[in-house]
Amino acid sequence: MPTVTYIEYDGTEHRIEVPVGKTVMQGAVDNNVPGIDADCGGECACATCHVYVDAAWLDKTGLPAPGSQEASMLSFAAVTQPDSRLSCQITVTPDLDGLVVRMPEGQH
Amino acid sequence: MSEAENHVVIAGAGHAGGSAAALLRQMGWTGAITLIGEEPLPPYQRPPLSKAWLKGEADADSLLLRPAAFYAGAAIDLRCGTRVTGIDRAARRVSLSDGATLPYTHLVLALGARPRRIPLAGSTLAGVLELRSAADADELKAALGPGKRLAVIGGGYIGLEAAASARALGAEATVIERESRVLARVACPMLSHFFEAHHRTRGVEILVDAQVESLVGAHGHVIGVRLADGRQVHADAVLVGVGAVANEELAREAGLPCDNGILVDGTARTEDPAIFAIGDCTRRPLPLYGDRLWRLESVPNALEQAKQAAAAICGKPAPSPEVPWFWSDQYDLRLQIVGIPFDAAEIVLRGDMTLDSFALFHLADDGTVLAVEAVNAAQEFMGGRRIVAKRKRLNPAQIRDMSLTMQQLAA
């Protein structure tokens, strides 16, 4: 099962096995990783599951670019950076084994 | 001294209660947590019940807030099919429907709301449905399909989303609304008329200014709705969606102040410092709107108050206030609303309603943006969230000017 590492704003790391087909957001919520609110439950409606994707992963083929809805939402998420993504829009595949995401200071 | 050593009892295992339990663990609570829910399922998401779940596009696992095994793993004692029946505040004990009693150091009331019932002849007929729980949704789903006819009493979010889902399943749908427009309680007239037009285009019949007189049955099953003007709407099932009532009785019986919701402060605390209340069952101050007391029936509110209660119980700083927001999906329309347009003096349209992508900005008389209703306009919604949070003032010309980006407007 692919492993995703979630790094909280304070540096605390969580290495979580996330089943293929689940989203990076669900992996965090299912395991109670702090720092991802996911108000809307994965509908790409709230931008409260914002993460920064580790640079090494940005160009990986396993990680498709944000869709237009996600890009629009992200442009106003809290403290947006070029490596910002909404974790509900990243579906875990075998290629994403080892993915590292960092959480912003807050989601609202 | 209470016999309970650091025991949080959470009464109600919906979105609010389930989240509070998880957040307590996230925030480092090491004491016991008992989560008591009346329904047979672990905490699950209600929003999909009128949308993806009803249309058969979501499976049971995806409905759950967290996997069923999560609770035991996090040392949360989840008791499904049970409810709290009484609170002894002096002894800090609750009694349960199974006869047990539990001591608590902190009690969180997450009792939710229940569908409002209207006293109508025929309301006990088979096929007269409401929509709150997964069981309700399953019953409704079973009544829908090609050739079936659904009548919806009430043109609110639940009713309109159910009508849209019914159409997607091939059923006929009629929405019967007492007011002169749908979404009368929650949206401005322009938005109401936009949604009415869309539903009609999709084949939903919408009757406004329509008073229901009774439900008509045959052999114990509903066959239609009779209106006060004599018309009859034929139906194989009738969904009653006319708002929700806060489940405040338990708090009221325990002597806690209630007034259309259990009254709480900005940290979700009731008058009793050991008792919190969160989610649909509460009426809470809105810091952005002069601490006006309001019932917010929404998932974001349930989560915000769950955070407030968990932080207070764990002795953490209070989380910063959030801007209320709501969403609804109907057909290919995504409605996102941020803020509440109390006492709005003017409504300004940004975008083109005929292109199904626009936003309505509600301004106070000094230009402060109170609320933004956005349809297929994620930038306007997200920018609006920032603008409303800052209590920023805008003038109508700026809002209408599409050459100004939302980034510029929100700056």
Amino acid at B367: G
Tell me whether strands B275-277 and B106-109 are parallel, antiparallel or unpaired.
parallel
Nearest residue on chain A to B28, alpha-carbon basis: A34
Which residues of B27-83 form beta strands (DSSP E)? Answer: 32-36, 76-79
Domain harbouring A19, CATH code: 3.10.20.30
Q: CB distance from A76 to chain B under 8 Å?
A: yes
Round to whole Å and give the CA distance between B268 and B252.
16
Beta-carbon count within 10 A of B4 CB: 17
- Quick one: CA dihedral B13, B17, B23, B28, positive or negative? negative
Residue-level pLDDT at B216: 97
What is this structure's pTM?
0.95
Across the range B204-230, mean pLDDT stands at 97
Fold of B332-410: Enolase-like; domain 1 (3.30.390)
Round to whole Å and give the CA distance between B386 and B378.
13
- CB contact under 8 Å between A69 and B378, yes or no, is yes
Q: Do domains B128-240 and B332-410 have the same CATH topology?
A: no
Tell me whether strands B325-330 and B282-286 are parallel, antiparallel or unpaired.
unpaired
pLDDT digits (tens, 9 = 90+) for B264-303: 999 999 999 999 999 999 999 999 999 999 999 999 999 9
Architecture of domain B7-114+244-314: 3-Layer(bba) Sandwich (3.50)
Chain B residues near residue A23 by CB distance under 8 angstroms: none
What CATH number has the domain spanning B128-240? 3.50.50.60
- Does A43 fall in a domain? yes
- CB contact under 8 Å between B385 and A77, yes or no, is no
Q: CB distance from A21 to chain B under 8 Å?
A: no
Round to whole Å and give the CA distance between B188 and B361.
10
The C-alpha of A32 sits at a distance from chain B's nearest C-alpha, in angstroms, of 7
Tokens of B303: 């989560």
Q: Which residues contact B347 (CB under 8 A, 6 or more apart)?
A: B188, B190, B341, B360, B361, B362, B363
Q: Is the pLDDT of residue B68 over 50?
A: yes
Residue-level pLDDT at B2: 43
Element holding A69 (H helix, E strand): helix A68-74
Residue ranges per structural domain of chain B: 7-114+244-314, 128-240, 332-410
- CB contact under 8 Å between A46 and B48, yes or no, is no
- CB contact under 8 Å between B382 and A76, yes or no, is yes
Q: Chain B interface, mutation test: which of A8, A14, A32, most B Cβ atoms within 10 Å?
A: A32
Beta bridge partners of B351: B358
Q: What angle do CA A45, A47, A49 make, to 5 degrees?
A: 115
- CB contact under 8 Å between B327 and A40, yes or no, is yes
Confidence class for position B1, pLDDT limits 50, 70, 90: very low
Q: CB distance from B51 to chain A under 8 Å?
A: no
Confidence class for position A106, pLDDT limits 50, 70, 90: confident
Average pLDDT, chain B: 96
Q: If 0-12 CB within 10 Å is exposed, 13-18 middle and 19+ buried, where does residue B210 land?
A: buried
pLDDT digits (tens, 9 = 90+) for B318-337: 999 999 999 999 999 999 99
- Does A108 fall in a domain? no
Chain B residues near residue A31 by CB distance under 8 angstroms: 70
pLDDT digits (tens, 9 = 90+) for A10-43: 999 999 999 999 999 999 999 999 999 998 989 8
Domain span at A68: 3-102
- Does A28 fall in a domain? yes
Which residue matches tokens 């075998």? A94
Across the range A88-94, mean pLDDT stands at 93
Q: Which of A32, A43, A69 sits opposite B26 (nearest CB)?
A: A32
Count interface pairs A-B at CB distance under 8 A: 59
CA separation, residue B212 to residues B122, B127, B132, B176, B264 (Å): 11, 17, 22, 8, 36
Q: CB distance from A19 to chain B under 8 Å?
A: no
Q: Chain A interface, mutation test: which of B301, B322, B375, B387, most A Cβ atoms within 10 Å?
A: B322
CA separation, residue B400 to residues B122, B169, B194, B356, B381 (Å): 50, 38, 19, 16, 15
**Whose CA is closest to B177, among B238, B132, B123, B242?**
B242
Confidence class for position B380, pLDDT limits 50, 70, 90: very high
- CB contact under 8 Å between A75 and B382, yes or no, is yes
Domain count across chain A = 1
Percent of chain B at pLDDT above 90? 96
Round to whole Å and give the CA distance between A101 and A13.
10
